[in-house]
Amino acid sequence: MPSVLITGAGRGIGRAIAQRLVSEGWTVFAGVRDEGSAPPGTSPVILDVTDPQHLADLPGALPESLDALVNNAGIVVSGPVEGLSPQDLRSQFDVNVLGLVAVTAAVLPLLRAATGRIVHIGSLSGRISTPMTGAYNASKYAVEALADAQRIELRPWGISVSVVEPGPVDTDIWRDAPSTLARAAKSLARSTQDLYSPHIGGMRRTIRFVQRSTVSSETIAEKVATVLAARRPRARYPVGRGARLQLVATSVTPTWLLDRVLAAGTGIPARIP
């Protein structure tokens, strides 16, 4: 049976991917923060992608040859860029970028042994940047850039690198988005809260709209299974018709017009007196 390590496998997209691959006969090593959260049928691996000791122990918890790695672990830091602290940015990049790089480096010898595959769970936010999620956008843009470099660097060993790019997904991240935004707003200095109150109000309305148009975690899992079964995996896999349409629309829309559309869509006024 082929083997795969999935990070962030305890819930949401990672859990759905693990369950899908188990059903297809994969030996799934579920990277989880606590053993009890591992999906049924998987082999749990205690893995916080920001913990140096967990990363050092990781190869020893896996077989000598690994057929695939799915880098799924991720978090969202929201708020206006002006209000982000250095720690906010570190937290965002530690998990979404540095953790992804560290896990990949830790298991690359095992992937080489199997001529394996790497799948990064990116986001439409790595192709289209939106207001109030600048830190998250930046981290997902970084994933796209790293994947492009890795795809060429690892080609001599036959290791493919693909990015799966979902739009909004029906997971805890979007279900909890209103409270996440509220916490982000509360953490801002009072003067910054006052400056960005129209943006915060617009973002609340945007979240309610987006929550009605999410795709399921199972849809993402199906796409990952497709990537892992592909004879020649593509570099990028947008998920859902809506995501593909957005990419096409933004590619032909002038930047000045796209800025106006995104501002209007998130309730940001043209001018603040």
Question: What is the model's pLDDT at position 43?
Answer: 98
User: For this structure, is 237 an active site residue?
Assistant: no
Residue with tokens 């981290």: 139
Parent domain of 171: 3-265
Is pLDDT at 89 greater than 90 in this prediction?
Answer: yes
Q: pLDDT tens, 220-261?
A: 999 999 999 999 999 999 997 778 888 988 889 999 999 998
Q: Is residue 112 exposed (0-12), middle (13-18) or buried (19+ Cβ within 10 Å)? A: middle
Question: What is the model's pLDDT at position 88?
Answer: 95
Q: Is residue 271 part of a domain?
A: no
Token code pair at residue 28: 């799934």
Q: pLDDT tens, 127-185?
A: 999 998 999 999 999 999 999 999 999 999 999 999 999 988 877 777 777 777 778 88
Q: pLDDT tens, 52-69?
A: 999 999 999 999 999 999
Contacts 24+ apart (CB under 8 A), 22-31: 24/225, 25/1, 26/1, 26/2, 26/68, 27/1, 27/2, 27/3, 27/63, 28/3, 28/4, 29/3, 29/4, 29/5, 29/61, 29/62, 30/6, 31/5, 31/6, 31/7, 31/73, 31/103
Whole-model pTM?
0.92
Q: Is residue 272 part of a domain?
A: no
Q: Is residue 63 part of a domain?
A: yes
Question: What is the model's pLDDT at position 206?
Answer: 76
CA-closest candidate to residue 70, choices 237, 224, 217, 231: 224
Catalytic residue among 136, 141, 196, 237: 136
CATH number for the domain spanning 32: value is 3.40.50.720
Q: How many domains does the chain have?
A: 1
Q: pLDDT tens, 106-122?
A: 999 999 999 999 999 99
Q: How many CB atoms sit inside 10 A of residue 54's CB?
A: 20
CA 47 – CA 141 distance, rounded (Å): 24
Q: Is residue 252 part of a domain?
A: yes
The proportion of the chain whose per-residue pLDDT surpasses 90, expressed as a percent, equals 71
Q: To the nearest whole number, what is the mean pLDDT of the chain?
A: 93
> Residue 43's beta-bridge partner residues?
29
Give the SS3 label for residue 150. Answer: helix
Local confidence band at 195 (pLDDT 50, 70, 90 cut-offs): confident
Token code pair at residue 147: 């994947």
